[in-house]
Amino acid sequence: MSLRLALALLMLATASAVIAADDPTQRVMLDPVKNTAAVTGTVTGYRSLRYLIFARAGQVLSTSFTPSKKTLYYNVQQGSHLLRDGSSADSLDWSAKLAADGDCVIDVYLKNGDARKNVEATFTLAVTISNP
C-alpha cells in the first residue's frame, strides 16, 4: 500500500469520526416504573442532538419540550416515517400512537438562521411511553 493511499485512508477515517461526533446520538432509558425520562441539552449552531427511544406498536409516545429559544425545534421519526415535523408544529407538546415496533429518533436542532449565526440554545425534553 502506498504512503499516499494510507494517509488518504487515515484522513477519511478521522473526518468520518469528527462528523459523527458533531451530532451525537444518545439512547434514552425510561424509568421502568413511570415509563418516563427527561433529558436536558444544549444545541449550538448546526450541531443537532439525537435521542433514541424504543417503543412497540400500539404504544403512545408523548413528548413535552421546553426550549430557551423559539427557534429551537424537534422532529420525531420512526424508521422512514416522520411523525412530527418541528418546523411546522405549533405546540411544544406532542403525542402519537405508534404503528410499528422500533426506535423512535428525536432530533433537536436550531432553525437555519440561528444555526448560521452559531446561536446557543438549551432545552428540556420529557418523554413518556404509555399503553392505551
pLDDT at 6: 40
23-130, CATH topology level:
Jelly Rolls (2.60.120)
Confidence of residue 4 (pLDDT cuts 50, 70, 90): low
- In 3D, which of 49, 56, 48 has the Cα closest to residue 30? 56
pLDDT at 88: 82
Asked if pLDDT for residue 16 goes beyond 90, the answer is no
Asked if pLDDT for residue 8 goes beyond 80, the answer is no
pLDDT at 58: 97
Q: What is the pLDDT of residues 74-124, one digit of tens each?
A: 999 999 999 999 988 778 999 999 999 999 999 999 999 999 999 999 999
Lookup result for grid cell 439525537: 50
Q: Which amino acid is at 108?
A: V
List 72's β-bridge partners, or say none: 110
